[in-house]
């Protein structure tokens, strides 16, 4: 002990006569960190906020772009390619989410969270300055690279907070997404209202969001280094990301989604453009399932997901049904119901009316999150919300043109029902995975949701189009002729109603004839929408049964933090002081500097203010690099089953 060339410190190791290896000591340290309470400071909550901001930016992309497609077509032309403005980014998310999640589990979470938003920034700029529809779609594909990181940005809050807060972390992400949807819908309407070229500003706003997301992860997200992981060769890294399984899944999902997008209106289901890729995609999906079942047990669909409970399979199926309902029925069909049944007549009024869905969803998600976190119950809120989904689907299956006010109430129920799955199903999926598969499991869940939405959109569109194609013109023509319209004017009236133009100038048209034709049109649309909603009922019933069979995860909601960003070797009071200093000192410096420059008649440019904030904050942003060979257990650790041992550290 007197030798000054050696430094002794306390390590926890199993009581043994043998000298402990570094791996054994490191495992003991990991066990100690799992058992102890880690005080959460601003570092953890800032990372959670940045992740929620990233979710908000992604939902803004999806909602804002889809709501201004009509203005983009009017400005750019080439309507046949317009669907790819939103389908392109969603295709990237659906196909790449599990693969990107697996990459982040094997390689590095931070670079994969911060890098794609830079690519999306470039894509948003290209889209904002697009001179053709092809250029706009190409920019959207680049934007889609950041949508594929949903597996990462949903996993980061879950791993930096204790397991008992996993419902909270996903609930906060849902709130971020809900706010992004609100901003996207209302913002897009405001920017394009009275300015057909205002849609370009949406992409400039997106560019700012993506740049802020990337900067936030680079500056504030410093995950603890994993010293206990063995070094791997490039061949081992490639094998770890499951190249065969990933290739099969990406090929299968791409072909199926292409086929379903084409089946949504461009081609019929029997056309080779739909049948060939759909058949090949389904065949590759079968090969993917067989390979992940028999080929290896640690691939993209790791067997550990299915050990101990059926929660992974049940949650992914329920999530696919939720995607079917949201992407196809709620996001696409409900606005059409509001328009074609005569409840509202303009895009802006429809956006305002849709707040009756968005706001209840936001409020209900907070209540569900607090309940699930307080009582550690994730199952029964899901049962209630899926039961509400069933009620909503049945009510929409009975919709009539006279249900103007009733539809608002149905929309409120839809919002409450929507809040449960996105808040809790992701958490349930994450509880089925060990930490080294966390992002992979999250990506698979969101991919299932997106694929469910793609299937739902194609199926509902086929049902609605088929019903309208066989009944709409016949019903409207009969009603107009019965009201006194000459047969020679029927074609012109149908063309005007289809294009949404005024029928003024059509021979023989009177207000009574227009009223009769509009009433017949509304009922034709109502019957088509009814049929579409009833087709969803069996899937909602099966999903409801699935969540009833979910296993309780209360025992898993513990104090354990899987990837803390806190400096656990420092005292809590010291961290609190550093937190206060971080929050106060940069802003005080900026205020002082601004006052001095303004006194000289030179206001401070925003970029200088940003540089001062970053520079003054750097001492607090530097990552903690704890030495794995030197760790002091917290007070009281010696009383555990693991005995403290003096381990000498030999200086280099």
pLDDT tens, position by position, 252-293: 988 988 888 787 667 788 888 889 999 999 999 999 999 999
Residue 625 has pLDDT above 70, yes or no: no
Domain with CATH 1.20.1250.20 in the chain: 41-223, 302-566
Q: Which of 626, 554, 561, 555 is nearest to 37 (CA)?
A: 561
What is the average per-residue pLDDT within 5-32? Answer: 44
Give me the mean pLDDT over the 130-137 stretch. 88
Three-state secondary structure call for residue 646: strand
- Residue 101 backbone phi and psi in degrees, to 5: -60, -40
- pLDDT bucket at 648, cuts 50 / 70 / 90: very low
Within 8 A by CB and 6+ apart from 223, the residues are: 109, 110, 160, 563, 565
DSSP letters, 243-269, are HHHHHHHHHHHHHHHHHHHHHTTTS-T
From residue 170, alpha-carbon distances to 159, 166, 361, 417 in Å are 11, 6, 14, 16
Question: How many residues does this entry show for the chain?
Answer: 652
Q: State pLDDT tens for residues 492-538.
A: 888 888 777 777 777 777 888 888 888 898 899 999 999 999 999 99
Whether residue 11 has pLDDT greater than 70: no
Give the dihedral sign, CA 171/241/252/146: positive
Residue 221 in contact with residue 45, Cβ under 8 Å?
no
Superfamily covering domain 41-223: MFS general substrate transporter like domains (1.20.1250.20)
Q: What is the pLDDT of residues 462-505, one digit of tens each?
A: 888 888 888 888 888 888 888 888 888 888 888 888 777 777 77
CB neighbours of 457 closer than 8 A, spacing ≥ 6?
Answer: 260, 264, 327, 328, 332
Question: How far, in Å, are 82, 328, 466 from residue 268 at the CA level?
Answer: 18, 18, 11
What is the three-class DSSP state of 457?
helix
Three-state secondary-structure class, residue 230: coil
Average pLDDT over residues 119-132: 91
Residue written as token pair 């009975």: 398
Sequence-separated (6 or more) residues with CB below 8 Å from residue 491: none
Higher-confidence residue: 187 or 25? 187
474 contacts: CB under 8 Å, gap ≥ 6: none
pLDDT digits (tens, 9 = 90+) for 134-176: 898 899 889 988 988 999 999 999 999 999 999 999 999 999 9
SS3 7: strand
Structure tokens at 97: 């989410």
SS3 (DSSP) at 415:
helix
Nearest to 311 by CA among 558, 555, 552, 554: 552
Mean pLDDT across the chain: 79
The residues that bridge with 645 in the sheet, in sequence order, are: 11
Integer Cα distance of 116 and 28 in angstroms:
36
- pTM (predicted TM-score): 0.76
pLDDT bracket for residue 36 (50, 70, 90): low
CA distance linking residue 527 with residue 525, whole number of Å: 5
Contact 553, 311 (CB under 8 A): yes
> What confidence score (pLDDT) does residue 543 get?
93
Residues above pLDDT 90, as percent of the chain? 33
- DSSP H helices, 68-165, are 69-76, 84-106, 109-128, 133-147, 150-160
| pLDDT 10s digits, 303-334 | 999 988 899 999 999 999 998 888 778 877 88
Q: What percent of the chain has pLDDT over 70?
A: 79
Q: How many CA atoms lie within 13 A of 535 on its CB side?
A: 20
Q: Give the pair of three-digit tokens for residue 551.
A: 């296993």
Residue carrying the six token digits 């909601």: 557
Three-state DSSP class for 350?
helix
Q: Which residues contact 335 (CB under 8 A, 6 or more apart)?
A: 350, 354
Q: Please, is 87 exposed, middle or buried when counting C-beta atoms within 10 Å of its C-beta (0-12, 13-18, 19+)? A: buried
User: What backbone phi and psi angles, to 5 degrees, belong to 9?
Assistant: -145, 165
Domain 302-566: CATH architecture, name and number where available:
Up-down Bundle (1.20)
């Amino acid at each position: 002990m007197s030798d000054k060339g050696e430094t002794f410190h306390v390590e926890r190791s199993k009581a043994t006569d043998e000298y402990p290896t570094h791996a054994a000591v490191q495992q003991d340290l990991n066990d100690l960190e799992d058992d102890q309470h880690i005080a959460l400071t601003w570092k953890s909550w800032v990372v959670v906020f940045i992740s929620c901001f990233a979710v908000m930016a992604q939902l803004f992309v999806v909602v804002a772009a889809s709501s201004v497609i009509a203005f983009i077509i009017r400005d750019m032309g080439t309507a046949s390619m317009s669907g790819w403005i939103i389908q392109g980014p969603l295709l990237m998310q659906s196909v790449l989410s599990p693969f990107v999640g697996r990459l982040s589990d094997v390689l590095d979470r931070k670079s994969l969270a911060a890098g794609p938003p830079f690519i999306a920034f470039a894509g948003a700029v290209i889209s904002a300055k697009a001179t053709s529809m092809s250029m706009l779609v190409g920019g959207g594909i680049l934007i889609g690279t950041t949508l594929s990181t949903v597996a990462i940005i949903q996993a980061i809050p879950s791993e930096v907070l204790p397991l008992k807060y996993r419902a909270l972390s996903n609930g906060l992400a849902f709130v971020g997404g809900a706010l992004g949807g609100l901003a996207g819908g209302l913002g897009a309407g405001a920017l394009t209202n009275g300015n057909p070229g205002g849609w370009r500003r949406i992409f400039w706003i997106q560019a700012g969001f993506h740049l802020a997301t990337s900067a936030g992860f680079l500056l504030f997200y410093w995950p603890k280094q994993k010293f206990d992981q063995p070094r791997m060769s490039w061949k081992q890294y490639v094998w770890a990301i499951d190249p065969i399984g990933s290739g099969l899944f990406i090929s299968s999902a791409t072909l199926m989604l292409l086929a379903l997008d084409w089946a949504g209106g461009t081609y019929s289901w029997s056309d080779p453009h739909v049948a060939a890729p759909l058949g090949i995609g389904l065949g590759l999906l079968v090969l993917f399932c067989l390979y992940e079942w028999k080929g290896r047990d640690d691939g993209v669909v790791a067997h550990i997901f299915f050990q101990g409970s059926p929660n992974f399979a049940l949650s992914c199926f329920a999530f696919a049904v939720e995607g079917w309902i949201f992407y196809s029925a709620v996001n696409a069909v409900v606005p059409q119901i509001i328009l074609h049944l005569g409840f509202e007549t303009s895009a802006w009024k429809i956006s305002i009316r849709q707040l009756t869905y968005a706001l209840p969803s936001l409020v209900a998600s907070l209540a569900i999150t607090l309940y699930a976190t307080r009582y550690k119950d994730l199952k029964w809120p899901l049962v209630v919300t899926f039961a509400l989904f069933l009620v909503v689907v049945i009510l929409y299956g009975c919709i009539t043109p006279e249900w103007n006010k009733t539809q608002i109430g149905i929309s409120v129920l839809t919002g409450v029902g929507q809040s449960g799955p996105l808040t809790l199903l992701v958490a349930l999926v994450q509880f089925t995975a060990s930490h080294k598969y966390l992002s992979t499991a999250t990506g698979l869940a969101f991919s299932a949701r997106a694929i469910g939405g793609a299937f739902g959109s194609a199926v509902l569109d086929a049902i609605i189009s088929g019903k309208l194609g066989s009944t709409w013109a016949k019903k409207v023509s009969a009603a107009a002729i019965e009201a006194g319209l000459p047969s020679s004017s029927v074609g012109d009236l149908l063309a005007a109603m289809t294009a949404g133009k005024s029928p003024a100038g059509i021979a023989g048209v009177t207000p009574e004839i227009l009223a009769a034709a509009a009433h017949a049109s509304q009922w034709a649309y109502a019957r088509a929408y009814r049929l579409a909603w009833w087709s969803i009922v069996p899937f909602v019933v099966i999903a409801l049964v699935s969540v009833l069979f979910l296993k309780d995860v209360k025992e898993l909601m513990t104090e354990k933090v899987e990837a803390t960003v806190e400096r656990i070797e420092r005292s809590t009071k010291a961290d609190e002081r550093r937190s206060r200093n971080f929050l106060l000192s940069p802003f005080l410096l900026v205020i002082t500097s601004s006052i001095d420059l303004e006194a000289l008649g030179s206001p401070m440019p925003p970029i200088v203010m940003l540089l001062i904030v970053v520079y003054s904050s750097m001492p607090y942003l530097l990552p903690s690099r704890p030495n794995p060979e030197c760790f002091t257990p917290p007070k009281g650790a010696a009383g555990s089953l693991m005995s403290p041992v003096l381990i000498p550290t030999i200086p280099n």
